[in-house]
Structure 1
Amino acid sequence: MCGRFTLTVSEEEWVNFFYVQSVNLRFEPRYNIAPGQQIAAIIADDEGRRRAGPLRWGLVPSWAVDEKIGYKMINARAETIHEKRSFREPLVRKRCLIPADGFYEWKKTPDGKQPLRIMLKSRPLFAMAGIYDTWTSPDGKVLHTCSIITTAPNEFMAEIHDRMPVILPREAESAWLDRDLQSIPELLSLLKSYPAEDMQAYPVHPQVGNVANDTPACIEEYKVPDNDAGGDGEQLTLF
């Protein structure tokens, strides 16, 4: 799954990187983005212009009875996304890019789970494939929500977790946003595991497990205590 990520750069940096032409959100760098929160997302309008705005992480389908369903739908599996009622129409008609510069995952170790921040080697920013929908409550409240698509792990991520977010190659970003592209086989062909050789990770402090912690300290490299030696600790080297 993908349950936490970061976007720590300035608004100008990610807006320019993803060729966004219109921004409609108040942005601040984020160090521990969690489900249920408002996140930055990018869509394309009918003319192909890219627009950025806020979506709540956790998809609430337009037909849902209760918005609480969103807490169970933070991710959509690439393998079955076209089969699920909640995801099929958004896959065809409501796709978005979720900008990020890293995501967190917890690796099992003999001493428990160690959180890692995972990034790309070749570029500072990347787009996760997302879908979105709009839900209106009986009292007229409108919610715009999204899910991040996940897929099977590549060789790098398999050592950490059994799922990973779909990170789109640069050349696939425009296709994912293209409203004229509605062929399910073509869309599914974009939902691949990102190349393992371009990924890297480093340990971070367990404080990222608490959603209340959203500070630069969350992304600092963490020296895991060396319990066997009883010393001051040593740098964990994983990859």
Structure 2
Amino acid sequence: MCGRYAATKDPATLAAEFDAVDETDSYEPRADYNVAPTKQEVTVVQRHPRDDEGNPDPNSTVRSLRVMRWGLVPFWAKDKSVGAKMINARAESVATKPAFKSSLAKRRCLVPADGWYEWRRDGGTKQPFFMTSADGSSLAFAGLWSTWRDKADEEAEPLVTYTVLTTDAIGQLTDIHDRMPMVLPRESWAAWLDPDREDVSDLLVAPSMELVSALELRPVSSAVNSVRNNGPELVVRHEPVPDLDEPALFDVEDTPGR
């Protein structure tokens, strides 16, 4: 699964890296080294531009940065709280799940990340690792998004949310966990974001061994276990010190889900 990641680049940097227009509006950029569900984060979408009357232009598309909340709330949901349970969607079954299949066909996004965290069980402890590009470039998680409106409050702003797709881990990642985010290579970005393409079944595959081999799997401090901790020290290499008599402690409400 993917339950925590880091996203520290400002919108201007991401706009250049993803060849997108910055439409984050009033969003206040900040480096987030411990992104957790329900946080507002930057995503990348590609849509047909609309005129003043809301009509889409079928002859052009615009790739842009948008701010969304992590944890997808389907448009038909009665309550937005369901989003906390929909932070991930399994690539193997996403096309058949009612919560995700509409978004898979019509509302796909990329989720830029410096890297993601995963926990390996070492005896009685859980050792956190940070998976990141060795060259410092952003990873692009395959994501889905949805817009939800509160029927009880017609004046409320619509809530735009996203989920991260996951797939079976491969290569060196299997030593840490059996699942991983579906990281898309640059050559697949356009096809994934294409608003006119409904069938993306050929893209719902595990990343290539070449992509995974280029990742650095970095052991980091257990400070990342708590969402209250957030700073560059979380992604600094921290070699584990075996201590079988002192299991790692987690804040109850912050324990990474398994």
1:211 is matched with: 227
1:189 is matched with: 202
2:164 is matched with: 148
Shift of residue 122 of structure 1? 5.0
2:43 matched to 1:41?
yes
2:137 is matched with: 124
> Within 1, Cα distance between the matches of 2:42 and 2:21?
14
Q: Which runs of 5+ in 2 are unaligned?
A: 49-59, 245-258
Whether contact under 8 Å (1:78, 1:188) holds in the other structure is: no
Q: Of 100, 107, 116, which residue of structure 2 is paired with 1:87?
A: 100
Whether contact under 8 Å (2:15, 2:64) holds in the other structure is: no
1:56 is matched with: 69
TM-score by length of 2: 0.83
Q: Which runs of 5+ in 1 are unaligned?
A: 229-239
> Within 1, Cα distance between the matches of 2:42 and 2:9?
12
Shift of the 225–26 alpha-carbon distance from structure 1 to 2, 3 Å rule, reads: same
Shift of the 123–173 alpha-carbon distance from structure 1 to 2, 3 Å rule, reads: farther
SS of residue in 1 equivalent to 2:206: coil
Encode CA deviations 1:8-29: one digit per residue, 9 max, x unaligned.
Answer: 2333322211011233232211
What is the identity, as a one-letter code, of the residue corresponding to 1:172? S
Whether contact under 8 Å (2:7, 2:113) holds in the other structure is: yes
TM-score by length of 1: 0.89
Identity %: 35
Shift of residue 120 of structure 1? 2.3
Shift of residue 129 of structure 1? 0.4
Whether contact under 8 Å (1:11, 1:28) holds in the other structure is: no
What is the identity, as a one-letter code, of the residue corresponding to 2:73? V
Shift of residue 124 of structure 1? 1.6
2:86 is matched with: 73
> Within 2, Cα distance between the matches of 1:216 and 1:21?
27
Q: Of 167, 189, 193, which residue of structure 2 is paired with 1:173?
A: 189
SS of residue in 2 equivalent to 1:113: strand
Whether contact under 8 Å (2:11, 2:65) holds in the other structure is: no
Q: How many aligned residue pairs are there?
A: 225
**RMSD over aligned Cα, in angstroms?**
1.5
What is the identity, as a one-letter code, of the residue corresponding to 1:157? L
What is the identity, as a one-letter code, of the residue corresponding to 2:240? V
